[in-house]
Amino acid sequence: MNTYSRKGGTTTSLKGHLMSVRTTEYEQLIILETEKKNTVQTSTSSPLQDAKKITNYFKRNFAEESKMVYF
């Protein structure tokens, strides 16, 4: 019987277990991972530009609420 370490709890341990003990599940995992990599959407803007868009959205839409004075 094989013993598998779970130190760190990463998916590497899971992949090692599947590869050595459950080969059919490992093959399914590899197929799902490659499908996920192939369906990644490419963005035309950088993460910084996306963050600025979000910040500007909140500034425009919630600026009036922040100016309100509550009694």
12-36 per-position pLDDT tens digit: 777 888 888 888 888 888 888 888 8
Please report the DSSP string for 2-62 in residue order: -----GGG-HHHHHHHHHHT-HHHHHHHHHHHHHHHHTPPPPSS-HHHHHHHHHHHHHHHH
More confident residue, 8 or 60: 60
pLDDT above 70 for 63: no
The boundaries of the domain holding residue 34 are 7-67
Task: Tell me whether residue 1 is in a domain.
Answer: no
Model pLDDT for residues 31-58, shown as the tens digit of each residue: 888 888 777 666 677 888 888 888 888 7
Number of domains in the chain: 1
Task: Tell me whether residue 59 is in a domain.
Answer: yes
Task: Tell me whether residue 58 is in a domain.
Answer: yes
- pTM assigned to the model: 0.41
Task: Tell me whether residue 2 is in a domain.
Answer: no
Task: Tell me whether residue 28 is in a domain.
Answer: yes
Task: Tell me whether residue 52 is in a domain.
Answer: yes
